Amino acid sequence: MNDKQHTIKAPVTVSGIGLHTGVQATMTFCPAPVGHGYQFQRMDLPDQPIVVADVDNVVDLSRGTTIEQNGARVNTVEHTLAALVGLQIDNVLIKLDGPEPPIMDGSSYQFIQALEDAGLEEQNALRNYYEIPSEIRFVDNSRAVELAALPLNDYRLTVMVDYNSPVLGSQHASLTDISQFKHDISSSRTFCFLHELEALYKQNLIKGGDLSNAIVVVDRVVSEDELAELATMLGKPKVAVKKEGILNNVDLRYKNEPARHKLLDLVGDLALVGRPLKGQILAARPGHAANVAFAKKIKKKMMEANSSPVPHYDPTREPVMDINQIMQVLPHRYPFLLIDKVIHLDDTSVASIKNVTINEPFFMGHYPGNPVFPGVLQVEAMAQTGGILVLNTVPDPENYTPYFVGIENCRFRRMVKPGDTVIFRCWLLAPVKRGIAKMRGQAFVNGKVVMEAEMSAAIVRKDA
């Protein structure tokens, strides 16, 4: 799995009809900055409102997942989101000139192709994984539905479906590595049973449904009169039933294509949690309603964990910036360069690491019998961390120098000693104006605050 966040290198467009609305639409995937996530923009509506792909924005689950925000609605988002997750793309703005993404061939594969044509671009920030801490379970006994998420340092999914049908029977599908999504899952098409077609039409759904973008499973004997009515309903001169029970002689791409498509839907629906996941997902008879209810339980756990402000530090992961990259940005050098690596950086926040060792030159004279990391140097390390953040707000940071111009409400909570690893976190309190940035910072050791302050910094051109 990727350590760094990714977007796409250039915009790319797909067009087609929406499955349920039947409306022709053009959808353009656009590059987006670090921390942006997945957002849809309804270009056909006044003010072109944004709809964030978030489980809290789900408003309808009628044969697909529909989200709504700012008075704008986007239908059937799961296939689009599954393609983004499958390619481990984190940040994309999806511009849409209609109410629903194109259904294409009923799978995610053509979205995958378009995104790969645009090219993927690594970004200067670590992926903000949510690692399942303990078992999370959703059960709907009335439908014999059960979904579970278990701790795992990877993202794996297994789906079981059983339709009590002589055509489909019981099926399983698994994804043991997200990188396999493109080849093993993405081309699996949406499907429904013959007996559902008429009900879906009466519900004003599947207006864009066609035998070229969906599999229709026939699990009973169908008369010639019924086939003629189906042909009229689908706008076809004639429809037929293959002996395997698939309408109009459509060949399955896999024997378990329906189970694989259910796994595809699950990947797309779980994207609405808002962060990439690490865990083992097990699903028995999933559907959009269960997927979304399950995603809400995961997000609730995630938000409870986020109530702690301590940045997560995994020393085994590649940093956003190592010491050599930091020295390309900051002017400080030994013995006054006081941060060792940057582990997070986006438009509004930054986190860095300082490993405190007895070899620091100041320990020779600063309480040599009881060495303590000087508070003033903690402030300087935090200021250097904030300097990385404010330089990230300009397109050419190599031409600017950050200067520390103010400090307020500084407090030292605990002593920092040799052997400690200090995590510094700074975030903007307001947008940068006239080259002045106001920030708040905190320093943590072993999950506890050791120092905090509010700071102001100026960014000045080197040639000014």
CB 310 within 8 A of CB 343: no
Instruction: Give start and end residues of each alpha helix (H) in 323-438.
Output: 323-329, 375-391
Measured between alpha carbons, how far is residue 252 from residues 186, 191, 215, 260 in Å? 14, 11, 8, 11
CB 148 within 8 A of CB 33: no
- Give dist(CA 10, CA 245) in Å, integer: 43
β-pair type (215-217, 191-193): parallel
Q: Which phi and psi (to 5°) does residue 256 adopt?
A: -110, 35
Check if 79 is active-site.
no
Q: Which of 172, 312, 332, 366 is catalytic?
A: 366
What does the buried/exposed string (b/e) look like for 91-129 if buried means 16 or more CB atoms within 10 Å of the residue's CB?
Answer: bbbbbbbbbbbbbbbbbbbbbbbbbeebeeeebebbbbb
Check if 6 is active-site.
no
8-state DSSP, 188: P
Query: Strand, coil or helix: what is 332?
Result: coil
Query: Strand, coil or helix: what is 410?
Result: strand
Q: CB under 8 Å to 205, separation ≥6 — which residues?
A: 20, 62, 63
Q: Which of 6, 20, 261, 288 is catalytic?
A: 288
Cα radius of gyration (the chain): 27
CB atoms near residue 246 (< 10 Å): 21
Q: In sequence order, what E strands does 111-245 have?
A: 120-126, 130-131, 136-140, 145-150, 155-162, 170-175, 191-193, 215-217
- Give dist(CA 96, CA 102) in Å, integer: 10
Active-site residue set: 288, 366
